[in-house]
């Protein structure tokens, strides 16, 4: 499916006006990247998305992956929910290159302004995958190569006032440019430490930038994951329904028949839930959100980033730590107390990697002592290392009897009953909102961060908050048992 013979076309100053599917079939353009009948499923999808004439067989195939009739005009949004190795990155790159090369609406731009074909992903390395495909068209096709004014590490600048560039999934990074085409790559797996809903916020920021260029388009591509987020919302709202938002859902082999069926069968036998998402393109039922984002957001004391130690009254402070060796993960600590049956987070300290573990331990020990704390509880990281490290600074470190999943389970009722007050820390809120609940075949739920995510900050906070509520109750029970014993 990915065979690519050499292009032999002669160079031209401007590519001809040609639709996307004709470009895929043209040996002087994209055909070397999309040879043969194995790409026919994608040709049918693109004909529908761009409102091109279709054969009866193509309409039938389109209905099998869209559960609707073909659009009567080019769609504004195309969402490709496909299994892995289905070819969605290759198709998205062809749409991007086609749109960029044929752009001729220079009169829509202000003097000095350039249109942008934007490639967005969870990180720049992921975005470079599609950029690599796009760059190859403008390197290997002579008539497109003639359009290149400059190549940069992040993209290509063309002679028709179009830039093709990668960016990260930040709503701040996508503002300020007229956008011709926006590819949102693997959008089911986007993470942003400063946002609870990075996918929704990015699309909201992109839409005004698309409005000034006629024919502009959003292309969202991903294998499906849990039933939450922008991709799932688009699927739920638009799949199988007429309109200018087209949602495709297709198993890998529907669009790439070169993938052997036995590979899919083996994956399903090994882990059915995961494989059905990755190869059959079904959203997962075994992975759900931990809590609604609204519950977390409403617990935040806006504008309050730290609560100083109380000096006018006696407060019992508790803490929890999530240690790290300093190479990759953050070293975090949180301090909390109970106030009228409410768990109040006083502060959270995150020391991001890389760092010196000894210096980090001292910094956290100093913070604990500033709240009158000389003993703490934390994750069972690296066995005895934290115990010795904290002891050298006069703090006793104990391993938590409960793992992070159990701590999150204990913390959830505090949110749902409105018995939590958080400090205003966006990474903390984002990590809480990104936690996932996974149901194992045994029936036991497990709560943890998702693929590519982290929970260093919210783990420390949840541990401190749960301790703030549970420890006073445990002390009261011990006092009552001692009294009855006398």
Cα gap 294→282, rounded to integer Å: 27
pTM: 0.72
pLDDT band at 206 (very low <50, low <70, confident <90, very high): confident
Token pair belonging to 6: 């050499």
**pLDDT given for residue 313 in this prediction:** 82
Helix H, strand E, coil C: the string for 311-371 is CCCCCCEEEEEECCCCCCCCEEEEEEEEECCEEEEEEEEEECCCCCHHHHHHHHHHHHHHC
pLDDT: is 62 or 480 the higher one? 62
Q: Write the class of the CATH domain 20-285.
A: alpha beta
Share of the chain above pLDDT 90, in %: 62
For residue range 128-176, list pLDDT tens digits in order: 888 888 999 999 999 999 999 999 888 999 999 999 988 765 555 556 6
In the chain, CATH 3.30.420.240 covers 293-480
For residue range 283-321, list pLDDT tens digits in order: 987 777 788 888 999 999 999 999 999 988 889 999 999
In the chain, CATH 3.40.50.300 covers 20-285
Query: For residue 100, is pLDDT > 80?
Result: yes
- Phi-psi map region of 215: left, alpha, beta (phi>0 left; psi -120 to 50 alpha): left
C-beta atoms surrounding 200 within 10 Å: 15
Cα gap 403→340, rounded to integer Å: 27
Closest CA to 321 of 300, 336, 342: 336
**pLDDT given for residue 461 in this prediction:** 97
Query: For residue 2, is pLDDT > 60?
Result: no
**pLDDT given for residue 6 in this prediction:** 38
Closest CA to 156 of 124, 116, 209: 116
Q: Write the class of the CATH domain 293-480.
A: alpha beta
């Amino acid at each position: 499916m990915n065979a690519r013979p050499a292009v032999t076309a002669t160079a031209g100053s401007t590519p001809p006006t040609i639709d996307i599917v004709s470009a895929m079939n043209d040996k002087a353009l994209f055909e070397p990247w999309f040879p043969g009948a194995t790409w026919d499923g994608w040709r049918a999808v693109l004909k529908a998305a761009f409102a091109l004439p279709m054969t009866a067989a193509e309409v039938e195939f389109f209905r099998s992956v869209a559960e609707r009739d073909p659009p009567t005009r080019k769609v504004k949004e195309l969402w490709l929910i496909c299994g892995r190795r289905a070819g969605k990155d290759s198709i998205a790159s062809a749409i991007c290159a086609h749109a960029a090369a044929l752009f001729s609406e220079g009169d829509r731009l202000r003097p000095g302004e350039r249109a942008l074909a934007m490639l967005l992903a969870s990180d720049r390395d992921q975005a470079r995958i599609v950029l690599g495909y796009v760059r190859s068209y403008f390197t290997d096709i002579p008539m497109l190569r003639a359009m290149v004014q400059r190549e940069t590490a992040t993209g290509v600048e063309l002679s028709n006032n179009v830039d093709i560039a990668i960016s990260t999934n930040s709503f701040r990074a996508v503002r300020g440019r007229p956008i011709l085409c926006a590819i949102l790559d693997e959008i089911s797996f986007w993470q942003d430490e400063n946002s609870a809903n990075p996918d929704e916020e990015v699309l909201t920021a992109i839409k005004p930038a698309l409005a000034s260029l006629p024919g502009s388009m959003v292309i969202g591509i991903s294998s499906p994951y849990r039933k939450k987020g922008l991709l799932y919302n688009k699927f739920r709202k638009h799949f199988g329904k007429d309109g200018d938002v087209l949602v495709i859902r297709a198993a890998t082999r529907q669009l790439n028949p070169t993938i052997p069926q036995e590979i899919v069968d083996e994956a399903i036998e090994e882990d059915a839930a995961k494989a059905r998402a990755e190869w059959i393109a079904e959203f997962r039922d075994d992975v759900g959100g931990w809590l609604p984002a609204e519950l977390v957001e409403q617990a935040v004391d806006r504008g309050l980033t730290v609560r100083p130690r109380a000096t006018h009254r006696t407060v019992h402070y508790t803490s929890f730590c999530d240690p790290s060796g300093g190479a990759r993960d953050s070293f975090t600590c949180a301090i909390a107390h109970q106030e009228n049956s409410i768990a109040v987070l006083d502060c959270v300290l995150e020391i991001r990697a890389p760092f010196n573990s000894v210096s980090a331990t001292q910094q956290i020990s100093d913070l604990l002592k500033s709240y009158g704390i000389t003993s703490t509880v934390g994750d069972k990281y690296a066995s005895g290392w934290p115990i010795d490290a904290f002891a050298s600074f006069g703090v006793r470190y104990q391993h938590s009897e409960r793992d992070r999943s159990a701590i999150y389970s204990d913390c959830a009722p505090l949110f749902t009953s409105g018995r939590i007050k958080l400090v205003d820390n966006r990474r903390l809120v984002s990590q809480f909102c990104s936690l996932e609940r996974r149901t194992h075949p045994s029936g036991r739920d497990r709560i943890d961060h998702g693929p590519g995510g982290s929970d260093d900050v919210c783990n420390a906070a949840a541990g401190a908050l749960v301790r703030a509520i549970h420890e006073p109750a445990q002390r009261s029970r011990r006092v009552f048992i001692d009294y009855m014993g006398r």
